[in-house]
A and B are shown apart, each in its own frame.
Chain A
Amino acid sequence: MDAIINLANNSIEFFKTVVEFAPKFIPGVILTLELAFFSIILGMVIGLVVAVLKLTKYKWLKKIMDVYITVVRGTPLLLQLYFIFYGLPSMGIMIDSFPSAVIALALHNGAYISEIFRGSIESIDYGQREAARSLGMTKWQAMKRVVLPQAFKRSVPALGNQFIIAVKDSSLASVITITETMLLARQFGAATFNVFPIYFTAGVYYLIITMGLTKLLSKVEQKLKVNER
């Protein structure tokens, strides 16, 4: 009997804490959204540029892009964040914490997104390019008008995956003093010693963001699928 009363009391305490702290997370959640948004948008731009540059005939450009992808994929994001925020100042390059985080996250996402784009560009039947070129299009016109629109459609499922990873990875920005959701959770937890409900709340916020994103992307996917094989 005592155990049941105890459990009930604990549950009430738990949800009280959740309700109390949920609004306090809002500024952090907004920062998480901003980090994710900018790093995804910039990452897409970087990814597209890198993917296209890798397909040009200039070998040295391809080499540079390969080095970029290898370095980014082969080192931890945590290290990349430290490197930009704590490392670069020793070379006289000072960047504020928020732009540092966006740069690191965007470069990180960009490397993965470029591989997604490259894969889908290469998956487009070569006959498409030949048909475009045989109409007199330049290489770039054929890329822009014929290959990229089709490749982009094929990228959407994999991109969705990467976007969700980007949202979760943004939590690492907490290590360079950005008070996004994760850092707030740690601060609230340290202040109240009531760790469980606070991390629970943070987790729910992340879930809301990633589930919303998944829903949005499957809508985009549906829309793009209409009329096609």
Chain B
Amino acid sequence: MSMIEIKNLHKYFGELEVLRGIDLTVDESEVVCLIGSSGSGKSTLLRCINFLEEKNEGEIYIDGELVTSKDINAIRQKVGMVFQRFNLFPHMTVIQNVMEGPVTVKKMDKKKARGLAMDLLEKVNLLDKADEYPAMLSGGQQQRVAIARSLAMEPKVILFDEPTSALDPELVGEVLGVMNDLAKEGRTMIIVTHEMGFAKEVADRVIFISEGQIAEEGPPEEIFDHPKNERLQSFLGQILV
């Protein structure tokens, strides 16, 4: 069953057409990696899915429902988002960050939310940091908290916007490890990434975006080992030296 269906998506920033007719279907439990050079529109595509950017044209269906800008709050509860710069709430402790969504949005009882948050922190291996403030954590730890925070809303899809790009190299592994676990659990994930090794290992499908369009897509072996599109070939040539 398709979890996300995008039809003919167009997005303009002023005169500039950033997305030029994207059609994309993501199935339940599928892990899709979006790759492409910067400025290609991959992050914009991700941000359009949960309406952080408003699309100009096209239709987006999530879990079978057509999404309009009127019910974005409801949709966003179904679509989790993990940001490049973590965006944890600095005035809340780690556990408060994770509880915030369920308590404020879902009006979940605080005790119950705390239990849920504890479970999630255990899952990302940060139970011992529950009462610390984000500023005391390393980038990798902060990003794992951000993942736990988005999981707390029990989203049907999680969007990752370059989740390891702001991390020191030695911290990338711990975050990818958590994401790998999520993929194995059968979570539906769309990941914008520059970590080709990770994409190769975890993705069910890799999509190469170039100049606002899907230039090539397929299973990772095909994309990385037998790229057909010329721009994909040169893109891979540049990064897989």
Mark A residues whose CB is within 8 Å of B.
125, 127-128, 130-138, 141, 145-146, 149-150, 153, 227-229
Task: Given A135-B150, A137-B104, verify A229-B90 contact (CB < 8 Å).
Answer: yes
Q: Restricting to B71-112, which residues have a CB under 8 Å from any CB of A? A: 73-74, 76-77, 79-81, 83, 85, 87-91, 100-101, 104-105
Does B210 interact with chain A (Cβ within 8 Å)? Answer: no
Does B149 interact with chain A (Cβ within 8 Å)? Answer: yes
| Interface residues on chain B, number (Cβ under 8 Å) | 27
* Docked CA distance A133–B74 (Å): 11
15 contacts between A and B (CB under 8 A): A127-B87, A130-B52, A131-B88, A135-B77, A135-B150, A136-B76, A137-B101, A145-B100, A149-B91, A150-B90, A150-B91, A227-B135, A227-B136, A228-B135, A229-B90
Q: What chain A residues lie within 8 Å of B85 (beta carbons)?
A: 127
A150 to B, closest residue via Cβ: B91
Q: Is the pair B87, A137 in contact by a Cβ cutoff of 8 Å?
A: no
Q: What chain A residues lie within 8 Å of B81 (beta carbons)?
A: 130-131, 134
Expressed in whole angstroms, the minimum distance between the Cβ of B182 and any Cβ of chain A is 17
Q: Which of B90, B91, B100 contacts A135 (CB 8 A)?
A: B100
* Docked CA distance A6–B126 (Å): 77
Mark B residues whose CB is within 8 Å of A.
50, 52, 73-74, 76-77, 79-81, 83, 85, 87-91, 100-101, 104-105, 133, 135-136, 146, 149-150, 153
Q: Which of A133, A146, A149, A153 contacts B52 (CB 8 A)?
A: A133
Expressed in whole angstroms, the minimum distance between the Cβ of B83 and any Cβ of chain A is 6
Q: Is the pair B104, A141 in contact by a Cβ cutoff of 8 Å?
A: yes
B153 to A, closest residue via Cβ: A135
Q: What chain B residues lie within 8 Å of A227 (beta carbons)?
A: 133, 135-136
Q: Is the pair A135, B133 in contact by a Cβ cutoff of 8 Å?
A: no
B106 to A, closest residue via Cβ: A136
Task: Given A130-B52, A227-B133, A229-B135, verify A135-B149 contact (CB < 8 Å).
Answer: yes
* Docked CA distance A85–B81 (Å): 56
Q: Which of B80, B89, B136, B153 contacts A128 (CB 8 A)?
A: B89
Expressed in whole angstroms, the minimum distance between the Cβ of B61 and any Cβ of chain A is 18
Q: What chain B residues lie within 8 Å of A133 (beta carbons)?
A: 52, 76
* Docked CA distance A127–B162 (Å): 14
Q: A135-B104, A149-B91, A150-B89 are in contact. List 4 more A-B contacts (CB 8 A).
A: A130-B87, A134-B81, A135-B100, A150-B90
Expressed in whole angstroms, the minimum distance between the Cβ of A60 and any Cβ of chain B is 22
* Docked CA distance A195–B50 (Å): 70
